[in-house]
Structure formats: C-alpha cells, structure tokens
Amino acid sequence: MKRVLIASPVRQKPAILKEFLWSLACLKTTGLLVEYAFIDDHEEDNGLLRAFAAGRDGIRIFPGRGTQQTYHCDENTHHWREDLIWKVAGYKNYFLQLAREEGFDYLFLVDSDLVLHPETLVHLVGLKKDIVSEVYWTRWEADLPPLPQVWIADQYRLYPLERGEAPDEKEIVRRQNEFLEMLRRPGTYKVGGLGACTLISRKAIQLGVSFSEIYNLGLIGEDRHFCVRAAALGLELYADTHYPPYHIYRESELAGLEEYKQRNFPAEAKTDFGGGGRIVPRGKHPPARQGSSITLAMLVRNEAGRYLERVLEHAAQYIDRAVILDDASEDDTREVCKKALRGVPMTLVSNRESAFANEIVLRKQLWELAAGTNPHWILILDADEIFEERATKELRLLAGNPEVDVYYFRLYDMWDDKHYREDEYWRAHHYYRPFMARYLPGFPYRWQEIPLHCGRFPENITELRGAKSTLRVKHLGWMKPADRLAKYYRYKKLDPEGRYGIMAQYLSILDPKPNLVAWEE
C-alpha cells in the first residue's frame, strides 16, 4: 500500500474551511495509507481542525508563525503580498521535509478553499506521475471568465509559443482557446505550471523540489518557482481533468456548492468530521519547544495477547501523546494499541513489510516519527517494559526539570511477576540506561549503525546533560518459558556468532535454575 501525506496550510474563513474538511473526510483511500498534516495559521482557533482530528489516527496540526500579517480576500479577488507568499512557501517546504523524512510515497498539497471530488486521491496516485495537479476553474476576478489553475509557461501563459515567435492577437486567442478546450475534456496533459491541488511523488521530493524563491527569477508566486525548479530537475508536470474540485474562491460561491455535492457525492456521504488526532501546541514552528509534556515512542510487532495492553494502560496515566510504529504485525496489535490508549492523542504507523531482522532501521524510523510530532520529551519503552507504580507521578516531575536533557533508569529482567533474575549475565539492573530524552531539534543526533542491540536512542545523547533516577523499569518479556525460548532462537538466528551481544548470555537464557531475587515495591 502507498503511504500518502495530505497537507495544507490553513488560514481560512470557517464556512469555507468546514466544507474543505468535509470533503477530506469523504475522500476514498482504497489501497492507500493516509495521514494528514495541517499548519494552523489562524490568529484564533476556530475549532474546526480539532473537530476534524477528533478520533482519527495520523493527524498532525502544527501552529503557524507570524500570524499578524493580514491576508485580504474580498468578492473581487485575493490580495497576496510578497511576505505572505514566502511564508506559505516555507509552510509547504516543511511539508516536503516531513514527507521526505518519514518516507511517504506521495505528498498531496491541497489549498483549504477546495472541495475535493471523492475519487481525487485514488485517481491521482493511480496515474503514477511525479507531479500532477487536479484542474479546477476559477474567476480570478469577478468580471473574468473561469480559468484553470494550470498554465503552459511563464507567469500565466495559456498558449504555446516557440522562442522568437511573435503571433498576432488572433492567433494567440486561437491557441489559448485550444488549450482551454483541451482542459475541459477528461484527460491527463503535460503542462508548464500548476499548483494548489498537487500530488508529488517520493522521487520528486528526494530530487529536491522546493517552493523556495529562485533569486534570479522574477515570476510572482511560490508555485511558479516550484514548477521552474521541478523542470530544471528533469521532472515533468501534468494536469488531470477527470475529477475537478469545487473552488470556493469567494464566500458567495458557497451557494453553488450544493449542486456540486449532489452531482459528485453519494447520498450516504459523511456529514461530519468523525473522530482524534494530534494537536501540536502553539509555539515556534516548526521545531520543537522546551516543555514538560511526555511523548511515548514504542516499537511493536505481534504483541496482542502478551504484555502490550498492560504496558500501554499504565503509560496512559502519565503520557501526553503516543507514537507507535507497528512493524507489519499479523495479529490484533493495532487494535490493542487503540483500545489501551483511547483518549490519548496517538500516531499509529504500520510498515507494509517487517524490518525486524534489522533493528537499527526500525529504531531510526521510530525516532523520526516521534521527532516529527514536535515533542518536548521522548520516552521510549518496548512493548514488554513497564515502570513501577510511582512513575505515574514522578515522571512528570522529572520532565519539569529544565536542567536535565536525558534521564537514566535501571531495567529489571522479571522471570515471573514477583522475581527478577540476577547472576553473572543478568545484571542489567546494576546499570543506568537512557529511557527518556528531551528532544533538541538543533542537536546532531548520531546512531550506532549495527543491526542488533543498536540502542533505542541515538548513541550520542550521552553528551547531553543527564541525571539518574531511582525509578525502576520492569522488563516483562522473560516471564514466560515460551517467551524465553522464542528470544533464544531469535538471538541465535540474528547473531549466530555473538558479534553484537554475548554468546554465553544467549545460552544462559534457557538455564533451568536461574538465581532469582524477590521484587519489592
């Protein structure tokens, strides 16, 4: 399945924004894994983005910046200033960065004054183009005829022109009409400029497409600079005309929306936004801020029926949000996560194929997903690790200390509910290891690049200000004989020569008479 990030910078009148979000809720996503990212640039929260996020996974709402600038829209046209254009360009570049870092197959950039046809996304992905926009028609000024948001070249040239050619006005009109007539027929056509409803492939993102200003180019608008840069990178631009959106360019155009809905939406189309998601508190955008909220990051695979539900229900008492990376589970792990963390804002991402044999890939992926939520603190627990009871109060106190960036805890390998193991090779609880770190966006995080036992955090967090805590962590994953046997075979398979761990410890897993010590709260 293809992963798609639908993204939009939002500064919109409530009546228009409501219709845009309604159409997102009605989008067909068959065969796709869809997440959403919004930048809320309103001066005051109107609640609509939060309503859309309620009860849904995979939704991020980031705060805007510099909301004092006035963007004026009236019944004639929209009045854009240079500073506003490049602020929006920065927002769109942030979405490109997010899609690149999190490995999305496509980024779908959509303006928040569009009502999308429900077939739009599935159709555009199916075209397998690197950059393609769905065409809509707009009266850019009240007394102009409707024109498309795609063009052939330059600022907004709607007719083909060879270099050095100087056609007369009659010929220009003929060519322009020919281009416009082509766009009125269902099809997919190569163009020179586009925007506002654009699907961008991973290939294009990795090549370096950007909305940043090209300093020696006089064209107005970030979309022009995006299109010129894309062409310079060897990418082609396409316009599709099968499922035109409805553009609410003016509030007066809301009156024509009902007819569009009746023509294009099934009678049972949703009438509200439904359910959850993740709200990133207002502050500096986009990097993370200092603060005391705790984001749980957890890697899971086939954990249903084991310890996951118990671990998450306990964690829900002290965390503010959760990021779960599901490594292609084949059981009900996802449902367990949703049930145990009901009421906790959560990002739940599933890999199509397991990377279980290469731990570093998963650890880095989880870290990047958590970092993308703009966290204060990242707490990383495995699905079989749980803090002792007093953590529900003390972890929040630790997170409130501005003098510490990393907290270290002791991990106890529980051999049953009341005993932990302690002998020559089972002394993890004698050492402190990092479980919770403040996210610092300017820090050059570096990983230990090995496939097993690579560590749950970047290895150089030890350079940050650290402190030891007396809070203890129980490792439940050794409590059942079946668990121990499975881990024994896993380590023997992944590390048959003991290159990344200790062979003698692997062999000791099956010791029939280990030394056990009673756990005391």
pLDDT tens-digit map of 174-204 = 999 999 999 999 999 999 999 999 999 999 9
Helix (H, G, I), strand (E, B) or coil at 423: strand
- Beta strands (DSSP E) in 220-361 are 237-240, 246-247, 278-279, 294-300, 321-326, 346-350
Amino acid identity, residue 44?
E
Q: What is the DSSP string of 267-287?
A: TT--SS--S--EEPPSSSSSS
Torsion angle defined by CA atoms of residues 360, 366, 371 and 376, in that order, rounded to the nearest 10 degrees:
-110
| Both structure tokens of 418 | 């009341």
Quote the pLDDT of residue 307: 95
Quote the pLDDT of residue 414: 95
Peptide bond into 14 cis (omega under 30): no
Quote the CA–CA distance of 328 and 362 in Å, as a whole number.
11
Give the confidence band of 494 by pLDDT, cuts at 50, 70, 90.
Answer: confident
> In angstroms, how far is CA 81 from the centroid of its own chain?
30
Give the confidence band of 55 by pLDDT, cuts at 50, 70, 90.
Answer: low
Quote the CA–CA distance of 42 and 65 in Å, as a whole number.
9
Half-sphere exposure of 268 (CA within 13 A, CB side): 0
Q: Give every strand in the sheet of 59-63, ordered side by side.
A: 188-191, 237-240, 131-134, 197-201, 106-110, 2-10, 32-40, 59-63, 278-279
Give the confidence band of 72 by pLDDT, cuts at 50, 70, 90.
Answer: very low
Quote the pLDDT of residue 278: 40
For 329-336, what is the mean pLDDT? Answer: 95
Quote the CA–CA distance of 97 and 368 in Å, as a whole number.
12
Read off the pTM: 0.54
Around Cβ 312, how many Cβ atoms within 10 Å? 28
Q: What is the DSSP letter of 252?
A: G
What is the phi/psi pair of residue 320, to 5°?
-105, -25
Q: Is the pLDDT at 276 greater than 70, yes or no?
A: no
For 246-252, what is the mean pLDDT? Answer: 88
User: pLDDT higher for 36 or 483?
Assistant: 36
Q: Is the pLDDT at 220 greater than 50, yes or no?
A: yes
For 495-501, what is the mean pLDDT? Answer: 79
Residue 423, strand partner residues:
426
Quote the CA–CA distance of 297 and 378 in Å, as a whole number.
7
Quote the pLDDT of residue 282: 36
The tens digit of pLDDT for each residue in 134-150 reads: 999 988 877 778 899 99
Q: What angle do CA 254, 260, 261 make, to 5 degrees?
A: 95
User: pLDDT higher for 84 or 44?
Assistant: 84
Quote the CA–CA distance of 461 and 443 in Å, as a whole number.
9
Quote the pLDDT of residue 289: 41
Quote the pLDDT of residue 358: 85
Supply the mean pLDDT for the chain: 87
Domains contained in the chain, CATH given? 2-278 (3.90.550.40), 287-518 (3.90.550.10)
| Both structure tokens of 238 | 């396409």
| Both structure tokens of 173 | 């009109």
Quote the pLDDT of residue 127: 96
Q: Which residue is listed with tokens 């993370």? A: 288
Quote the CA–CA distance of 40 and 88 in Å, as a whole number.
11
Closest to 96 (Cα-Cα) out of 234, 2, 202: 202
Residue pair 101/293 in contact (Cβ under 8 Å)? The answer is: no
The tens digit of pLDDT for each residue in 380-398 reads: 999 999 999 999 889 999 9
The winner for highest mean pLDDT among 33-47, 72-86, 427-441 is 427-441
Which positions ≥6 away from 478 have C-beta within 8 Å?
Answer: 413, 414, 415, 421, 484, 487, 509
Residue pair 40/61 in contact (Cβ under 8 Å)? The answer is: yes
Residue 36, strand partner residues:
6, 59
Quote the CA–CA distance of 219 and 225 in Å, as a whole number.
7
Quote the pLDDT of residue 236: 97
Quote the pLDDT of residue 385: 97
Quote the pLDDT of residue 65: 66
| Both structure tokens of 169 | 């006005």
Quote the pLDDT of residue 244: 94
**What angle do the packed helices 308-315 and 333-340 form, to 10 degrees?**
30
Residue 135 burial by Cβ neighbours in a 10 Å radius (0-12, 13-18, 19+): buried
Q: Is the pLDDT at 294 greater than 70, yes or no?
A: yes
Q: Is the pLDDT at 516 greater than 50, yes or no?
A: yes
Give the confidence band of 78 by pLDDT, cuts at 50, 70, 90.
Answer: very low
Q: Is the pLDDT at 76 greater than 70, yes or no?
A: no
Residue pair 93/149 in contact (Cβ under 8 Å)? The answer is: no
Quote the CA–CA distance of 414 and 476 in Å, as a whole number.
5
Beta strands 433-438 and 377-380: pairing type? antiparallel
Beta strands 188-191 and 106-110: pairing type? unpaired
User: pLDDT higher for 71 or 286?
Assistant: 71
Closest to 205 (Cα-Cα) out of 296, 104, 276, 118: 104
- Give the H/E segment covering residue 386: strand 385-387
The winner for highest mean pLDDT among 53-62, 210-219, 261-270, 486-495 is 210-219
Residue pair 238/189 in contact (Cβ under 8 Å)? The answer is: yes
Quote the CA–CA distance of 93 and 335 in Å, as a whole number.
34
Give the confidence band of 263 by pLDDT, cuts at 50, 70, 90.
Answer: confident
Quote the CA–CA distance of 401 and 398 in Å, as a whole number.
6
For 492-516, what is the mean pLDDT? Answer: 84
Give the confidence band of 70 by pLDDT, cuts at 50, 70, 90.
Answer: low
Q: Is the pLDDT at 430 greater than 70, yes or no?
A: yes
Give the confidence band of 269 by pLDDT, cuts at 50, 70, 90.
Answer: low
Quote the pLDDT of residue 270: 46
Around Cβ 356, how many Cβ atoms within 10 Å? 16
Closest to 250 (Cα-Cα) out of 85, 84, 110, 73: 73
User: pLDDT higher for 357 or 461?
Assistant: 461
| Both structure tokens of 415 | 């051999």
